[in-house]
Structure formats: C-alpha cells, structure tokens
Amino acid sequence: MGQTAFIPASTEQAKALRRGADPGLRRGCAVTPALLRALEPQSTTEEAEFAALSNAGVLGLLVGPELTRLVLAAELEPAQITATEDPSGEIAISSLSWPQVRALFLDEPEAADAVMTARRAVTESAGEVTLATALPLPEVGALLDGFDLLWFAPEELDHLGQTGDPTDIAANRAD
C-alpha cells in the first residue's frame, strides 16, 4: 500500500516526467507523523491530506515563474519517501515515475495575481527560503485563504498552456 504525496512541479517538469525523464523533483509534502502532531488531535485524514496539499502548493511558489502552481498527487512506495520532522509534512522523494501520478492540482484562474504576489514575497524574504519561512508570510496566507487548488486528471496535462495559464485549461478542459 502506497502513500499519497503532493509534489510541486512546473508544467515542463511534469511533461518531462511523463516522457520518462528525471526532472529532479525531490521535495514534496505528505501526511507524516510530524504533520499529524502539528494538527488538531481530532483532524480527519482528509483534513491532514488537505494540509499536505496546501503546504506542497506553498513549495510550488519556489518552483518557477508560472502564473499558477502545479502540484502532482502521486502514490509512492514507503521506500521512496524520507519523512522529516518538519511539522508541515515536508518529505524528500527518492524517485518518481509518471504512472504513480494520480491527479494534478492547479490554481484556479482568478489566483494568478495572488500567486505572483506570494511568489514575490517568498523570493524576496531574507535568508534561506524554506517552507517553514514561507508559510507565515501574509501574502502566502492570503493566497491560501483566498484560493483553492483545483483537481485535474493526469491526462489533462496537455491542456495546460505553455505558460501554465489556467484560462487555457478552462477553454480546453475535457468534461
């Protein structure tokens, strides 16, 4: 039985992974013991997975300059995951293949300005940029509070525009 992990990627990294290349995706988030300890004791599995997805979305601010964040949801074997004691559920991933990807999550179209504002705040923050330093930034909080990552099937990757523009997805999405 595998574990769901959420891995931020650029559109090009996701396409390279689908072609069989190793795009170097090494960081992600999952429901780890440290994340579970950080959540309320009565948190459900679904709430813990949503927290891991949201935190992977914040890591997605560090991936590239696209207008949206792309997060891959993948089913990984335990040997592929090295959990940290980070309370945000950050993990290191030893390898990943496209058949393991079960879903794509992408920002809703209206989030583009908030994504760019949060990305700018994260990249301009003093010191080393980590998930722990990005999460408390007000611009990141506004993004997380104001916008959701939308679910797409892995087969819809080709409907992403070259820039990751979500309006391309809305126009080309298969129902």
Tell me the per-residue pLDDT of 33-91, one tens digit each, with 9 for 90 and over: 999 999 998 889 999 999 999 999 999 998 878 889 999 999 999 999 998 888 999 99
For the chain, where are the alpha helices, taking DSSP H only? Answer: 11-18, 33-38, 45-59, 112-124, 131-134, 138-146, 166-172
pLDDT value at residue 64: 77
**pLDDT surpassing 70 at residue 164:** no
**pLDDT surpassing 50 at residue 175:** no
pLDDT value at residue 166: 47
Query: Would you place residue 1 in the very low, low, confident or very high pLDDT band (cuts 50, 70, 90)?
Result: low
Mean pLDDT of the chain: 88
Give the residue-averaged pLDDT of 83-102. Answer: 93
Q: Of the given ranges (13-17, 126-130, 143-147), which has the lowest mean pLDDT?
A: 126-130
Give the residue-averaged pLDDT of 26-39. Answer: 94
Q: Which residues pair with 101 in a beta bridge?
A: 74
pLDDT value at residue 174: 44
Give the residue-averaged pLDDT of 129-149. Answer: 94
**pTM assigned to the model:** 0.89
